[in-house]
Structure 1
Amino acid sequence: MSPMLFSALDPALRVHLLRNAAVREFGDGQIIQQRGERADGFWLIEEGSVMVGQFLPEGEFRAVALLGPGDSYGELAVFAGKPRIVDAVSRGNSRVRLIAARPFLEALSNYPASTRALLGALSEQLQDTLAQLAGLRRGTNPQRLAAILANMASDQDQPASVVVTQQELADLLGVTRATANAALRELQKLGLVQRGYGAVTIPVRDRLAQFALG
């Protein structure tokens, strides 16, 4: 999994930014940010989790990522100075911090090493995105699901436990719940995952990641 941009910053800069960052709490299903809003800062998740994606014209939410504690998002809109292109919804109760754009950009100029680290993290994120797009074109649903789960478990000890529902997996895959469930059953049949209520256990992440590559 590519590094989150906030985690790539110098520790002293992170402390400085957090000192004045507004804390906000959201309940299950509450909208944290909406597409088209001005990017007045980026978000750092402290507790809970956040689904990032877009609301479709008919009102359905199509998720593209499930983020948890320590993850950040919204930095690219801040750098670009353009409106946000994704919606973000709290999954369960969540606690997040808003790192204001102007103090962040001003402070960054005093930390040249962090600027270089951000470029490296951005490059890794771009490479991951291109790899995922390629996988969407050629991979089977079980392979694509394996890649998503392996990515979500990348920062955990083994065996890893990913807290996610079948509907959320379906959203991330862009398929129906029945199709996602069939892909999950296939992974379990191969011994790559173990299904539980609201969670998926991954005994050996590297095996799952290797299966995703075909």
Structure 2
Amino acid sequence: MARAWGLARQRRGSEMSGIDEHDLEVMRRSPLFSRLSADQARTLVSPSTPRAYAKGTVLFQQGDAADCFYVVLDGVVKIARHLPDGDEVVIGVVGPGATVAEVAMFIGGRYPATAEIVADARLLPVRSSHFRAALRDNADLAMGLLAATAQRVHALVQELEHIKSQTSAQRVADFLVGLCPGLQGTDVEIELPYEKGLIAARLGMTPESFSRALRRLRQLGVRIRRDHVFIPSVELLNHFAMSGEDGGPPGGT
């Protein structure tokens, strides 16, 4: 676990112009809004205006009153719990289409974690009071909230299963496969979405374990230069992530 250095609150993001069609498209990637039409989504968030946040901005701190949640339109947000001994546990790193802290409105009205911008971002804040009022009148929105919550629970179950059943190298391989557009590509080059130290924390390992895992993946031809990763066979890497075996899948060459 990474040591928390006592995040100081940054100023609120600067207000931008209203949402556009691309923003609505990004919003509707989330299970929370996927059941809504474009017009319904626009009406729901019409009182809100996107804001720009610089890297390092703290959106809210653990224990703050949950007066709003956020839709990520662009950029990356880290969500972390701060423990009494000062350690930080990264419980999520999310990008465009994700929602941040919508469940906090229903579990005591306090944010259960701290959210920090780790790559310059555009977010749409949605007031808790406005959203709760909309829930009472819109069954599709209520179903979307249930779907978003179920998806989070499913992801957590999968993550716990991976931590228990996969080696560090397998977890890194699984993460890299998730960044690829498909499972059949060869000679694929991808860009890491955020810093290696944060990737390590998100995968529940130390930076040293992460470095050892990358060295292990070199045996599969995986190469990393700065923030770019070269993968000679996505299928082979996926097979390793699932089985821990270096060889290709049955019937493969």
**TM-score (norm: length of structure 2):** 0.70
The 5-angstrom pairing of residues 1-214 of structure 1 reads 4-11=30-37, 12-57=39-84, 59=86, 61-151=88-178, 153=179, 156=181, 159=188, 160-191=190-221, 193-200=222-229, 207-214=236-243
C-alpha separation in 1, matches of 2:56 and 2:114: 12
Structure 1, residues 175-202: CA drift from partner, whole Å, max 9, x if none?
22121011123224314x4423124355
Q: How far is the alpha carbon of 1:58 from its aligned partner?
A: 5.8
Q: How far is the alpha carbon of 1:206 from its aligned partner?
A: 5.7
C-alpha separation in 1, matches of 2:136 and 2:96: 27
8 Å Cα contact 1:13/1:111 also seen in 2 = no
Distance 1:55 1:207, change over 3 A: farther
Q: How far is the alpha carbon of 1:107 from its aligned partner?
A: 1.5
8 Å Cα contact 1:42/1:75 also seen in 2 = yes
Q: Structure with the greater relative contact order (CA < 8 A, sep ≥ 6): 1 or 2? A: 1
C-alpha separation in 2, matches of 1:203 and 1:57: 44
8 Å Cα contact 1:5/1:75 also seen in 2 = no
8 Å Cα contact 1:47/1:69 also seen in 2 = yes
8 Å Cα contact 1:188/1:195 also seen in 2 = no
Structure number, greater radius of gyration:
2
**TM-score (norm: length of structure 1):** 0.81
SS of the residue aligned with 1:167? Answer: helix
Distance 1:75 1:105, change over 3 A: same
Return 16-25 or 130-139, whichever deviates more: 16-25
- Structure having the higher helix fraction is 1
8 Å Cα contact 2:32/2:141 also seen in 1 = no
The percent identity for this pair of structures is 24
8 Å Cα contact 2:31/2:148 also seen in 1 = yes
C-alpha separation in 1, matches of 2:236 and 2:42: 37
Return 126-135 or 103-112, whichever deviates more: 103-112
C-alpha separation in 2, matches of 1:194 and 1:111: 49
8 Å Cα contact 1:162/1:201 also seen in 2 = no
Structure 1, residues 44-68: CA drift from partner, whole Å, max 9, x if none?
1122211111234565543232211
8 Å Cα contact 2:59/2:116 also seen in 1 = yes
